[in-house]
Amino acid sequence: MAGSDRPTSRDVARAAGVSQATVSLVLGGKWRGRVSERTAGTVRSVAGELGYRPNAAARSLRLGRTRTALLVVPALTHEYFARVYAGAARVADAHGFGVVLYPSPEGIGPARDPFGPARAAIDGVIASSMAADALAGIADGGLPLVMLDSGPGAQDGPPTVDLAVADGIRQVVRHLVALGHRRITHLAADVDTWTFKVRARTVGEELARVAGARPATERCGLDVASARDAAVRALTAPGPRPTALLCDGDVLAAGACKGARSLGLRVPEDVSVSGFDDLELATALDPELTTVRLPAEEVGARGMAALLALLDGAPVPPVELPVELVARGSTSAAP
Amino acid sequence: MAGSDRPTSRDVARAAGVSQATVSLVLGGKWRGRVSERTAGTVRSVAGELGYRPNAAARSLRLGRTRTALLVVPALTHEYFARVYAGAARVADAHGFGVVLYPSPEGIGPARDPFGPARAAIDGVIASSMAADALAGIADGGLPLVMLDSGPGAQDGPPTVDLAVADGIRQVVRHLVALGHRRITHLAADVDTWTFKVRARTVGEELARVAGARPATERCGLDVASARDAAVRALTAPGPRPTALLCDGDVLAAGACKGARSLGLRVPEDVSVSGFDDLELATALDPELTTVRLPAEEVGARGMAALLALLDGAPVPPVELPVELVARGSTSAAP
DNA sequence: CTGTTAGCGCATTCAA
DNA sequence: TTGAATGCGCTAACAG
């Protein structure tokens, strides 16, 4: 069990012939005018040679802060959240913070105990895309909290970082309408989170403005198979067949393409399909998906920045990040 | 800054009319025959009412252990690693451990400092699919280390959990050969890790046994676009066109399908394509990919179990997990 | 059965 | 300019 006895600041102090306090000051970077340049140099080189690393537990205990944030996500297996994490971690790292991931079970239901699983003590929580009722368990701890992709909160609620989801949907609808589509079915994710509720509402609102539009909705789970089934239902429903399937995510769009093809329909000649998220999947498919690009890293980065500001007691205005339609091969003029 | 003054064990002790030590014993679960049932009950209920949570920093400082493992992965954005994490976290959780993720920059090069980014102190490290030279920076810390998917190590090296990658490749090759394919091109990931080296070697070995086989290799990066280009190169190379593309991953296979189609070839009628990993992508594509299913969660779970054993000083035999060919629509009889 | 004591490694007073 | 002393919250000895 090598390495179990790492050098302590006292070891460094002894080796350098100074006191522990001096070591702490020098290594803490707050010695300007309190320790001589020469002594500081000695301390630093001795610490380096000994391979000294401050003990995080002791420091946390003393400071009362851990310099660690907890990022709560509904599912780790999704590329979007991986990118959110990457963005958060980048900003955190730049500020000497760490980020610990906590995949909330099922993404739904109150997170049982944000502190059991993530053993490390936490300075604050960043919750991403959580279901409405999942918040209780988190805000509970009285910890500083930032909400990502969860809609504008109350005026005095936690800071928020949101995506312009409604605008994204609007861009998709207008894209489809401009291509001549009127019979558009929304493949809606059957998930009770802000982002999906906004998508559903916006599709309805936007289509209501279009003369001759025939909106419809088909609900489905978040996986390929479920979306394929929903697409088949949508395309075989009584009445004129929809010419476009507007899907709540790229994964759903992939399923929709499969469903259409299983009926002998071609994408996009017979039916156009649009996605949302712009995952790698969007360009892995053939044809590539028309979709909406989400600045996932930026969401994570701004979320972490908001948490840092919150910890500093600084005011944190809500953020809304723009999204962008990416037109590719899966949509074309209505037949 | 609400909640900054959480109750301590002393607060609980005072409120319950006992000593701090008693609280510690009861809540630590080691009071059998040392504290009366009645007192224990009182302590527990008082702790509950006060919303007491033990301070992780203090506990770590005292115990010298943090009950936290660091999982180092080359890329978070990959479904495989998300699953490895899930498996590791599940086992960890069952043992009161947490898992912190550390995405090693670029997946290559020595991880600069596993302890800076992951501020939380660490009891041990689980490294997954790391490049050969990335190990130095990790094993360095003298921390208990487990290696995942990195090949059988030295006899006295760190414990390993590996996948039967060679067997997986063998199954794919035999599947293709049984379908009548002889001109098989290996779309090989241009990455210097054990798993990809084994794949390349095994394809060669296995094909060498087949009479009339015409093996070829095309190298590419790990993304769709790079694989598409490689597939185009493979399918337009001088000489008879390959009838099958054996790809080092599902993502590459997706690119290969696109490449084939861009040349007017159909999958699988004109060219068969096989993947590796069995990501969700494999069934999102049309046709679905013939691929090799990797027990990613199991890898993570066994890795965490190995680390726990290591921390207990128990012997840790190497583990090799079986993989399984999943035949789907992207492969068929050679034309 | 329960309470008292000591010390984990660090950052920070206060004295020198 | 530096050193000695203190306590963060907890657990493990040892007393009672």
Residues A208 and A196 in one domain: yes
Q: Are residues B208 and B130 in the same domain?
A: no
Chain A CA closest to residue B296: A77
In a domain, B259, yes or no: yes
Q: Which residue of A has its CA nearest to B57?
A: A57
In a domain, A302, yes or no: yes
Rounded-to-integer distance, Cα A285 and Cα B311, Å? 45
Q: What does the pLDDT average to over A26-46?
A: 85
Give the model's confidence band at A38: pLDDT under 50 very low, under 70 low, under 90 confident, else very high. confident
CA of A18 to C1' of D2 (A): 8
Backbone angles phi, psi at A154, to 5 degrees: -65, 160
Q: For the stretch B28-39, what's the b/e string if a residue is b when 16 or more beta carbons lie within 10 angstroms of its beta carbon? A: eeebeeebeeeb
Q: B20-26: long-range contacts (C-beta < 8 A, 24 or more apart)?
A: B23/B47
- The yes-or-no verdict on residue A109 having pLDDT over 50 is no
Give strand D nucleotides closer than 7 A to any protein Cβ: 1-5, 7-13
Residue in chain B nearest A80 by alpha carbon: B77
Q: Are B196 and B94 in the same domain? A: no
| CA A288 and chain centroid, separation | 24
- CATH number for the domain harbouring residue B20: 1.10.260.40
How close is the nearest chain B Cα to the Cα of A172, in Å?
22
Considering only residues B271 and A6, tell me which one the structure prediction assigns the higher pLDDT.
B271
Asked if residue A330 has pLDDT above 50, the reply is yes
**pLDDT reading at A1 higher than 50:** no
- % of chain A residues with pLDDT over 70: 90
- Nearest nt to B7, CA vs C1'? D9
Which residues on B lie below 8 Å from A257 (Cβ)?
286
Instruction: Say if residues A247 and A203 touch (Cβ distance below 8 Å).
Output: no
Average pLDDT, whole number, for chain A? 88
A104 within domain boundaries? yes
Nearest CA distance, A210 vs chain B (angstrom): 32
Banded pLDDT at B6 (limits 50, 70, 90): confident
One domain, residues A270 and A193: yes
Q: Which two tokens stand for residue B292?
A: 């090799």
| Tokens describing residue A21 | 């306090």
**What value does the mean pLDDT of chain B take?**
88
- Give the integer Cα–Cα distance in Å for B165 and B160: 14
Q: Residue B110: pLDDT above 50?
A: no
Average pLDDT over residues B37-51: 88
Structural domain includes residue B59: no
For A169-190, what is the mean pLDDT? Answer: 98
Interatomic distance A57 CA / C15 C1' (Å): 29
Mean pLDDT of B245-264: 98
More confident site: A141 or A175? A175
| Angle at which helices B20-28 and B9-16 cross, to 10° | 110
Least confident of A129-143, A319-333, B203-217, B221-235: A129-143
CATH code, B107: 3.40.50.2300
Instruction: Note the pLDDT of residue A147.
Output: 92
Cα distances (angstroms) measured from residue B48 to each of A303, B3, B16, B27, B43: 32, 16, 11, 11, 8
Residue A293, CA distances (Å) to A82, A203, A250 in order:
15, 17, 10
Give a yes or no: residue B229 inside a domain: yes
Q: Are residues B49 and B116 in the same domain?
A: no
Domain count, chain B: 3
Q: Are B43 and B134 found together in one domain? A: no
In terms of domains, do B182 and B221 share one? yes
CA distance A226 to B56: 42
pLDDT tier, B107 (very low <50, low <70, confident <90, very high otherwise):
very low
> Do B113 and B198 sit in the same domain of this protein?
no
Footprint of strand C on the protein (CB under 7 A): A 8-10, 20-21, 24-25, 27-28, 30, 52, 54-55, 58-59, 61-63; B 17-22, 33-36, 38-40, 58, 61-62, 64
pLDDT beyond 70 at A190: yes
A159 and A175 housed in the same domain: no
Stretch A104-122: mean pLDDT, rounded?
Answer: 54
8 A C-beta contact, residue B331 and residue B273: yes
Between B198 and A99, where is the model more confident?
B198
Q: In angstroms, how far is D5 C1' from A250 CA?
A: 63
The answer on B303 and B157 residing in a single domain is yes
Could you tell me the residue range of the domain that residue A49 belongs to? Answer: 9-54
CA distances from B43 to A115, A203, B51, B236 (A): 21, 55, 12, 76
In whole angstroms, what is the distance from residue B168 CA to residue B191 CA?
A: 18
Q: Which residue has the higher pLDDT, B150 or B164?
A: B164
Asked whether residue B109 carries a pLDDT value surpassing 50, the answer given is no
Q: For residues A114 and A134, what is the distance between their CA atoms, to the nearest angstrom?
A: 11
E strand or H helix at B229, and its extent?
helix B224-236
Same domain, B93 and B177: no
User: What are the beta bridge partners of residue B73?
Assistant: B103
With respect to residue A248, please indicate whether it lies within any of the assigned structural domains: yes
> Helices A9-16 and A37-50 sit at what angle, rounded to 10 degrees?
120
Same domain for A15 and A90? no
Report the pLDDT averaged over residues B138-142.
61
A120 has a pLDDT exceeding 80? no
Flag whether A247 is in a domain. yes
Residue B61 in domain = no
Any idea what DSSP says for residue B5?
A: S
